[in-house]
Structure 1
Amino acid sequence: MRKKLSLAATGAVALFALTACGGDTPSAEENTNEAGATILEVGAVPVPHAEILEYVDENLAADAGIDLEIQEFDDYQTPNIALDEGSIDVNYYQHLPWLEEQMATKGYEFEHGAGIHIEPYSAFSKHETVEDIPDGGVVAITNDPANQLRALYLLEEAGLLQDIDDETTALSITDEQNPKGLEFEENQPEVLVQISGDPQIDLAILNGNYLLQAGMKTADALLVEDVSADNQYANFLAWRAGESTEAIETLEELMQSDEVKEYIKETWPNGDVTPTEAS
């Protein structure tokens, strides 16, 4: 079952503080439906993650003895808040650099499965070519460190920046690294889609799930990340450390199945969502 919670970042902490049951919450193994299948509460962003989970729930889960209760979130903070507080058993929306940054800054203790899919990072522009982007052009870029570095590397691959390293940020970038003098406008990733069409923006670098949710396609992007090689930005399932259950392991197996891989390929044939080689 898919629940459209659509929780915004503001007020989310207070909401989960009120709703989390802590020690009174039954474990996934103790929570079963009328047919005896183990119920898993899974948090995800709507596209493509909740759609992939819904396919699994409707086509594969029952035969495997699990029942997915899918809760949708509209931002990147609340799925980990919910997981940490026990409102959900597992989430599906994040990649390794984001997870590592979240655990380092928030103190979360999570574990994760293998990569399931990759959404290529893409940059949209009012200009027809990279060469048309003017000196001093305005680039809309995410304000979260893990994805911001990913965006800076994408700009380097396009020849707009140079000598980017893992310590580079939009605020610390030097004139030598930024020969065109690009100006960076930082914002939350969910906001970048909304301002991508602003005539003052020369280039907007967007996360895959938000551009898909807005009905956009990477085919219309000026720059698209290469996902053909081993990519650290593959999205996976995450759960609380030491709390993996048989039901979570079963879901992990289903998410790595050939059926899920084929579903992703058939649903997004142009590569907007690409299954990983491990799946």
Structure 2
Amino acid sequence: MRTNRIVAASAALILAAAGLTACGDDSASTGAAGDAVTVKIGTTDADQKAWTAFAEKAKEEGINLDIVKFSEYPPVNPALDEGQIEISKFQTINYQAQYNASAGKDLRIVGSGEINILGLYWKDHTSLDGIEGEEVAIPNDPSNQGRAINVLVQAGLVTLKDGAPTLTPTPADIDAAASKVSVVPVDAAQTSSAYHEGRPAVINNNFLDRAGIDPQSSVAADDPNSELAEPYINVFTVRAGDIDNATYEKIVEIWQSDEVTKALEEDSNGTAIQVKRTKEELNEILDNLTKDYS
């Protein structure tokens, strides 16, 4: 995910910059239990199968999702803070922490979604055999760079210097003498080019399909259950006063349903793994990361 420095703007500017449109039925429908609740939720992923399944399942549960589409990440958090939407599902904990720190806000997490596994790909190879001494291309943007390095750490290919930041390492934090490979930071879009040139590369999921790379062909990947992966859990975000809203908690539960999970797996070619963590755990991770960025 691309990291941007976010500055809160007026609601009017937010809506204009996002180029957002609402979809779905604004009027609440009536179910067996009475009038359905309408919730305005913002996302950048509304066109995915998972979101269609999500809206259908929510309607069955008496929640009418008024999905607000954003074309890019930066306007979503300010829109939530200004009340243009009620809840969002588009970002990782890491991205939210950077927003809270840079904008001086206190948006909170009401529940977890999935984590998208980040993999190391090496053309015409099915294992790490022979990789020692190779240069590995990694994304150069701050958020993905640190995570890519940790993929290599978990694979036993890179060792960090004593005292290096655990969650957000940079190439300067790598102990070259103790590592089996070196890293070459490049634009995230160029990692797939490095792969096709025969170099091992850590490649973001959104570049795999367009580059004709099988997501299941990675020779190494991060562990979604590892502490190192925690900042990259996708989350449902609300304003602080809504942290205990029962409807929003129900929305999280619906996202974790079998129907949505199946559609999510299809969208991601099996690289998205649902993560179930309590909101207390998620907000503790958020607060620790926010401190690091403050």
With the length of structure 2 as denominator, give the TM-score of the two structures.
Answer: 0.67
Compared with structure 1, are the counterparts of its residues 252 and 181 closer, same or farther at alpha carbon in structure 2 (3 Å cutoff)? closer
Aligned counterpart, 2:285: none
Compared with structure 1, are the counterparts of its residues 152 and 140 closer, same or farther at alpha carbon in structure 2 (3 Å cutoff)? closer
CA distance in 2, matches of 1:212, 1:42: 27
CA distance in 2, matches of 1:40, 1:278: 23
Aligned counterpart, 1:115: 112
Aligned counterpart, 1:6: none
- Aligned AA (1:239): V
Contact in 2 for aligned 1:50/1:70 (Cα 8 Å): no
Where 2:53 maps in the other structure, the secondary structure is helix
Aligned counterpart, 1:173: 174
Contact in 2 for aligned 1:139/1:201 (Cα 8 Å): no
Aligned counterpart, 2:184: 183
Aligned counterpart, 1:144: 142
- Aligned AA (2:234): N
- Aligned AA (1:40): V
1:204 equivalenced with 2:207 (yes/no): no
Compared with structure 1, are the counterparts of its residues 210 and 235 closer, same or farther at alpha carbon in structure 2 (3 Å cutoff)? farther
- Aligned AA (1:158): A
Contact in 1 for aligned 2:41/2:85 (Cα 8 Å): yes
- Taking every aligned residue pair, what percent have the same amino acid on both sides? 24
- Aligned AA (2:174): I
Deviation at 1:269, TM superposition (A): 9.4
- Aligned AA (1:139): A
CA RMSD of aligned residues (A): 3.9
Compared with structure 1, are the counterparts of its residues 261 and 150 closer, same or farther at alpha carbon in structure 2 (3 Å cutoff)? same
- Aligned AA (2:183): L
CA distance in 1, matches of 2:201, 2:106: 33
CA distance in 2, matches of 1:184, 1:150: 12
CA distance in 2, matches of 1:74, 1:155: 32
Aligned counterpart, 2:256: 256
Deviation at 1:236, TM superposition (A): 1.9
CA distance in 2, matches of 1:213, 1:52: 20
| Unmatched runs of 5 consecutive residues or more in structure 1 | 1-8, 22-30
Compared with structure 1, are the counterparts of its residues 213 and 249 closer, same or farther at alpha carbon in structure 2 (3 Å cutoff)? farther
Instruction: State the Cα deviation string for residues 190-224 of structure 1 (Å, max 9, x = none).
Output: xx246512456823323335546777542122322
1:272 equivalenced with 2:271 (yes/no): yes
Deviation at 1:148, TM superposition (A): 2.6
Instruction: State the Cα deviation string for residues 125-168 of structure 1 (Å, max 9, x = none).
Output: 336254555746251314133x4322111112223311364252
Contact in 2 for aligned 1:32/1:38 (Cα 8 Å): no
Aligned counterpart, 2:283: none
Contact in 2 for aligned 1:135/1:181 (Cα 8 Å): yes
Deviation at 1:235, TM superposition (A): 1.7
Where 1:33 maps in the other structure, the secondary structure is coil
Contact in 2 for aligned 1:119/1:208 (Cα 8 Å): yes
Compared with structure 1, are the counterparts of its residues 183 and 74 closer, same or farther at alpha carbon in structure 2 (3 Å cutoff)? same
Instruction: State the Cα deviation string for residues 55-86 of structure 1 (Å, max 9, x = none).
Output: 1212x222333222334445443433433343
Compared with structure 1, are the counterparts of its residues 20 and 270 closer, same or farther at alpha carbon in structure 2 (3 Å cutoff)? closer
Compared with structure 1, are the counterparts of its residues 153 and 184 closer, same or farther at alpha carbon in structure 2 (3 Å cutoff)? same
1:37-56 equivalences under 5 Å are 37-46=36-45, 50-56=48-54
Where 1:53 maps in the other structure, the secondary structure is helix
1:158 equivalenced with 2:159 (yes/no): no
Q: How many residues align?
A: 253
CA distance in 1, matches of 2:86, 2:269: 32
Instruction: State the Cα deviation string for residues 21-51 of structure 1 (Å, max 9, x = none).
Output: 9xxxxxxxxx95153543323222338x943
Aligned counterpart, 1:57: 55
With the length of structure 1 as denominator, give the TM-score of the two structures.
Answer: 0.70
CA distance in 2, matches of 1:10, 1:103: 11
